[in-house]
Structure 1
Amino acid sequence: MIDGWTAAQVKAAEQPHLDAGEPLMHRASAGLAREVERLLRDAGRWPAPVVLVVGSGSNGGDALFAGALLAEAGCAVTVVPTGSRLHEEALAAARASGAVVDDAARWSTVGEAGVRLRETGAAVLLDGVLGTGTSACPALRGRARDVVAALLPWVTAPTAPTAHAAATAHAAATAHTGPLVVAVDVPSGIGPDDGAVPDPTVLPATLTVTFGAHKAGLLIEPAAGLAGEVVLVDIGLLPDLAAVPPAVSVPDRAS
């Protein structure tokens, strides 16, 4: 069985580690970078250009620190900010490693997004717009929604399998004709606790790299169908959560 916990349960487990000064974000981003590398190697495209679609919160920080590591490894990294501010330390690390910050306005219509995808040669879109600390309604709004809506036609082309159809991320990586989508912790726009998808403007992921513990929403439809392969990066929370009843438990399809 795979257990899933709510955002509040995971946050409570994180807090003592954060209070102790443990580098949880760096652990998460290092695991995220490893999984992106694995996906690209499976596709025979390592190193390759990566586009980070980044929001204002910690989720964006995870994506930016991972982008810094990918840039250091030889990937051309482009940052598309969808929030009014970005995680300052993570942004500085990404810039120092060679990442380029683009204007989100250039990614806000379908035509412009297609041009930018071709110009960057993006093999992977890293969805770091929203994480588990969203409002009661997780639907994207404003510039973030505009950018994701503009990207959707390019990652759901009829000739490419979506996260719904691909049995594994490896199968998607070897067959996909557009950029692969890697969701950071959860696909942006899904309910992390209940799996709700209040607005269909969500990038369907080939791979979701989640941190600390499986989020309950990743195991519940309809969100589960947008998560693709879900890989858990252990950042040190599992012993704490072992004493906490999970919100949901589902059969492990890989077993």
Structure 2
Amino acid sequence: MTERVPTFTAEQVRAAERPLLDQGVPLMQRAAAALADVVSEEIDRLDGSASTHRPLEPMPQDLSGVIRPRVLILAGGGDNGGDALYAASRLTRIADVDVLLVADRFHQGAFAAAIGAGARRIDLVEVSDVGADYAVVVDGILGIGASREPALRGAAREAVTALLALGEERGRMPRTIAVDLPSGLHPDTGDADDVVLPASVTVTFGGVKAGLAAGRGPELAGEVVLVDIGLGEALGAVEPAGEASVSRVVTAPQA
């Protein structure tokens, strides 16, 4: 069942976030907690156990022969990368998590949390070796901060190009969860070139970005899940850019 909701520009969302960030509200942690929940649900679906969603609790360490799912985190240098890395720190409880950093600068605190929880930093060669074995890829490369120049560049473009080629070669792509919007998609117009990972699910925070419902947005975003992180009052006071359909609206845990 879908629900119609308003869409907003990147600047409208940033303006709504600003006063909360100034007050020290942990928006990134809220977003990461909700993202981890959605990824966990996707893993359950792949296991055929969607009807009995398991909480994010540690697996017993004394079980032998248990094959845990593998999750790849693609982390860029902005807030989306931080969201993905903090989500990784939660996902290590139920999956083997690999982290591929695609920017020289990244969220140090979130990266430390992920590695401290048991995630493993890898390079692109290792991704190419085991790419088909990932149950889920989390695309946290770029977000609304890339509205001026959304096209992927450098290491990020190389990584996505390699994953697309690997998917074509092996006839399938892992389930991809986009963080806020598929990296490389313009948040306002939906414009994109061909180097974008098509998402199975896009987990978007605060308000649906206009680009998810315009241009190539519907083609690349997959199922859209809107996460309420506390921007409702601020966004309710501005004129929406348009409307979009979402599969559901969830409230972020108060992390």
Determine whether 1:227 maps to 2:221.
Answer: yes
**Residues 8-52 of structure 1: per-residue CA shift (max 9 Å, x gap):** 000000011111111000000000000001111111178521000
Whether contact under 8 Å (1:155, 1:181) holds in the other structure is no
Q: Which residue of the partner structure matches residue 70 of structure 1? A: 91
SS in 2 for 1:69: helix
Whether contact under 8 Å (2:177, 2:201) holds in the other structure is yes
Q: Which residue of the partner structure matches residue 187 of structure 1? A: 182
SS in 2 for 1:146: helix
Q: Amino acid of the residue matched to residue 190 of structure 1?
A: L
Q: Amino acid of the residue matched to residue 164 of structure 2?
A: L
Q: Which residue of the partner structure matches residue 60 of structure 2? A: none
Q: Which residue of the partner structure matches residue 56 of structure 1? A: 77
Mark the CA change 1:4 to 1:135 in structure 2 (over 3 Å): closer, same or farther. Answer: closer
* Displacement of 1:103: 2.2
SS in 1 for 2:208: coil
Q: Determine what percentage of the aligned residue pairs are the same residue.
A: 45
Counterpart-to-counterpart distance in 1, 2:109 and 2:14: 21
Counterpart-to-counterpart distance in 1, 2:247 and 2:74: 30
* Displacement of 1:143: 1.0
TM-score, normalised on structure 1?
A: 0.84
Determine whether 1:134 maps to 2:134.
Answer: no
Counterpart-to-counterpart distance in 2, 1:84 and 1:248: 36
Gaps of 5+ in 1: 108-112, 161-177
Mark the CA change 1:54 to 1:253 in structure 2 (over 3 Å): closer, same or farther. Answer: closer
Counterpart-to-counterpart distance in 2, 1:12 and 1:86: 23
Question: Within 5 Å, which residues of 2 pair with 1:1-255?
Answer: 1-44=4-47, 48-71=69-92, 73-104=93-124, 106=125, 113-118=127-132, 121-155=133-167, 160=172, 178-197=173-192, 199-250=193-244
Gaps of 5+ in 2: 49-53, 55-67, 249-255
Counterpart-to-counterpart distance in 1, 2:162 and 2:170: 16
Q: Which residue of the partner structure matches residue 63 of structure 2? A: none
Mark the CA change 1:158 to 1:237 in structure 2 (over 3 Å): closer, same or farther. Answer: same
Q: Across the two proteins, how many residue pairs are aligned to each other?
A: 227
TM-score, normalised on structure 2?
A: 0.84
Mark the CA change 1:252 to 1:159 in structure 2 (over 3 Å): closer, same or farther. Answer: same
Q: Which has the higher strand share?
A: 2
**Residues 222-251 of structure 1: per-residue CA shift (max 9 Å, x gap):** 122100000011100012111111111246
Coordinate RMSD, CA, aligned: 2.0
* Displacement of 1:158: 8.3
Counterpart-to-counterpart distance in 2, 1:190 and 1:158: 25
**Residues 108-163 of structure 1: per-residue CA shift (max 9 Å, x gap):** xxxxx431325xx3111100110110152211011110110000133457855xxx
Mark the CA change 1:62 to 1:40 in structure 2 (over 3 Å): closer, same or farther. Answer: same
Counterpart-to-counterpart distance in 1, 2:138 and 2:86: 12
